[in-house]
């Protein structure tokens, strides 16, 4: 029975997942917070068990629960605002003993399930503006609640997920173009137009996070913001790694010069410790992971499953690109974690839940092609 259950998995996707998790444990262990390695291992084990369980479900049946999924997203985010612990001016998680539950991580999956169901249910109206407007109307409260935490990084992840799901669902290109232009206009309004008129929408530290990478030297006054300093230290660590890494002599990561290097800057830890070889291995594993998830999307046997997987691809791709980019100094610091590598129970477990759904879609496609698999996996 166990062997039949494992046949539901995409082997290369599973290989990439387990390899990244193994690297996560060792990277946290050599970071400036090695005492967290044991806890990270517990998160990994729990996440793998949950992924295995989720991979056995029938994803198509989740379409019927779209209102429940959406309701959980909204209720959970509201509870975070009310009950969440205040950490550095933000309410991102509920603290339960030694564990912090960051609901926005799990809500990404429920959001993908709910929006995918809505797009499929609209069916023949997919080309109409009313469909796009309805989906935007469902997304707006989610983004508002996340921005109130405030968690700009997660909000950007949701936006990326939404755009990719709309594209895969078949929403006309002119709708996506309009959304892109509207998004750029909103960014310009918040960062340039309104501040010029004396209206400050974002807090100063949020503006610094979004713009510090453009001038990490600190500008003419020579003042370097905390965020620019973090990026500078991360880039120094990556540069120190060279071809094969510094090993035990990786001072930037092990001595705490790179703040929060077990979470936001875990890629700098790997790059300094194991050099270009380690960083290249990480990026290769991510390429393998994304390729296999994309392959599952292509082979999906229903529109609903394809749209759900597209949302997961959007989530993973944005987080990988943004996190690695901010480590390299080419993207702003938004607090987005590196999937499967950064320390944190919510991030690791939520990502594994999402990959469990991908495996479930893969299993459905495989069973549709080969009836014998159905007999082996569902005796």
Over the chain, what is the mean pLDDT?
86
- The gap from C-alpha 349 to its chain's centroid, in whole angstroms, comes to 11
For 185-242, write each residue's pLDDT tens digit: 877 776 666 676 666 666 666 666 677 666 666 555 556 666 677 788 888 888 888 8
Give the contacts of 360 (CB within 8 A, at least 6 positions apart): 8, 54, 55, 56, 57, 58, 59
- Tell me the C-alpha to C-alpha distance, in Å, between residue 302 and each of 175, 194, 199: 23, 45, 47
Please state, in angstroms and rounded to a whole number, the distance separating the CA atoms of residues 336 and 88.
16
Q: Is 284 within 8 Å of 42 (Cβ atoms)?
A: no
Please state, in angstroms and rounded to a whole number, the distance separating the CA atoms of residues 220 and 314.
38
The 8 Å CB, 24+ separation contacts for 215-219 are 216/329
Domain boundaries, the chain: 2-377
Q: Residue ranges of the chain with pLDDT lower than 50?
A: 1, 373-379
Q: What is the DSSP letter of 192?
A: I
Q: pTM of the predicted model, to two decimals?
A: 0.90
Please state, in angstroms and rounded to a whole number, the distance separating the CA atoms of residues 197 and 185.
16
Which pair of structure tokens corresponds to residue 165? 């799901």
For 229-270, write each residue's pLDDT tens digit: 778 888 888 888 888 888 877 777 777 777 778 888 999 999
Nearest Cα to Cα of residue 315 among 117, 119, 169, 113? 113
């Amino acid at each position: 029975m166990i062997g039949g259950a494992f046949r539901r998995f995409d082997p290369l996707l599973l290989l990439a997942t387990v390899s990244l998790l193994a690297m996560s444990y060792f990277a946290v262990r050599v970071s400036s917070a090695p005492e967290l390695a044991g806890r990270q291992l517990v998160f990994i084990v729990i996440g793998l068990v949950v992924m295995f369980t989720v991979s056995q479900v029938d994803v198509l049946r989740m379409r019927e629960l779209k209102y429940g999924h959406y309701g959980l997203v909204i209720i959970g985010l509201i509870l975070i605002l009310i009950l969440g612990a205040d950490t550095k001016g933000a309410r991102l998680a509920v603290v339960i003993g030694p564990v912090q539950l960051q609901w926005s991580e799990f809500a990404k999956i429920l959001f993908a399930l709910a929006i995918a169901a809505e797009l499929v249910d609209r069916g023949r109206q997919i080309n109409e503006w009313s469909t796009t407007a309805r989906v935007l109307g469902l997304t707006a409260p989610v983004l508002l609640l996340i921005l109130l935490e405030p968690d700009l990084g997660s909000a950007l992840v949701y936006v990326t997920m939404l755009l990719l799901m709309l594209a895969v669902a078949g929403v006309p290109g002119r709708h996506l173009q309009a959304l892109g232009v509207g998004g750029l206009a909103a960014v310009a309004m918040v960062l340039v137009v309104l501040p010029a008129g004396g209206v400050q929408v974002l807090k100063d530290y949020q503006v610094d996070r979004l713009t510090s990478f453009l001038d990490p030297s600190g500008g003419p006054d020579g003042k370097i913001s905390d965020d620019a300093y973090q990026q500078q230290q991360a880039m120094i660590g990556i540069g120190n790694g060279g071809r094969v890494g510094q090993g035990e002599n990786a001072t930037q990561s092990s001595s705490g010069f790179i703040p929060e290097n077990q979470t936001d800057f875990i890629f700098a830890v790997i790059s300094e410790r194991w050099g270009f070889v380690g960083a290249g291995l990480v990026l290769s594993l991510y390429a393998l992971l994304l390729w296999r998830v994309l392959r599952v999307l292509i082979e999906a046997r229903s529109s609903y499953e394809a749209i759900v997987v597209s949302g997961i691809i959007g989530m993973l791709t944005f987080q990988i690109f943004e996190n690695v980019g901010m480590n390299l100094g080419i993207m702003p610091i938004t607090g987005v974690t590196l999937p499967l590598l950064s320390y944190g129970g919510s991030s690791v477990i939520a990502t594994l839940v999402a990959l469990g759904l991908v495996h479930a879609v893969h299993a459905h496609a495989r069973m549709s092609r080969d009836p014998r698999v159905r007999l082996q996996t569902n005796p």
